[in-house]
Amino acid sequence: MPAGPRQTTATPSACARHTAWSSLSPSLAVPTADHQLTTGLALGSNLGDRLAHLRQGRDLLLSLHEGPAPAALSPVYETEPVDCPPGSASFLNAVVEIRTSLDPLHLLRQLICLESELGRPPARGQNTPRPLDLDILYAGELVIDTPSLVLPHPRMTARRFVLQPLADVRPDFVLPGDGRGMAPLLAALPPVPRVALFREIW
Say which CATH architecture domain 6-199 belongs to: 2-Layer Sandwich (3.30)
Dist CA 194 CA 37 (whole Å): 32
Averaged pLDDT of the chain: 83
Dist CA 172 CA 58 (whole Å): 22
Read off the pLDDT of residues 111-156 as tens digits, 9 standing for 90 and up.
Answer: 998 888 887 766 656 677 889 999 999 999 999 999 999 999 999 9
Say which amino acid occupies 140. Answer: G
In the prediction, which pLDDT does 14 show? 52
Lowest mean pLDDT: which of 52-66, 81-95, 116-130, 141-155?
116-130
Angle (CA) 29-9-152 rounded to 5° is 35
- Mean pLDDT within 61-78: 94
pTM, full prediction: 0.82
Phi/psi class of residue 16: alpha, beta or left (left: φ > 0; alpha: ψ in -120 to 50)? beta
Dist CA 55 CA 198 (whole Å): 14
Whether residue 29 is predicted with pLDDT greater than 60 in this model: the reply is no
Whether residue 22 is predicted with pLDDT greater than 80 in this model: the reply is no
Domain boundaries, the chain: 6-199
For the chain, the C-alpha Rg in angstroms (whole number) is 16
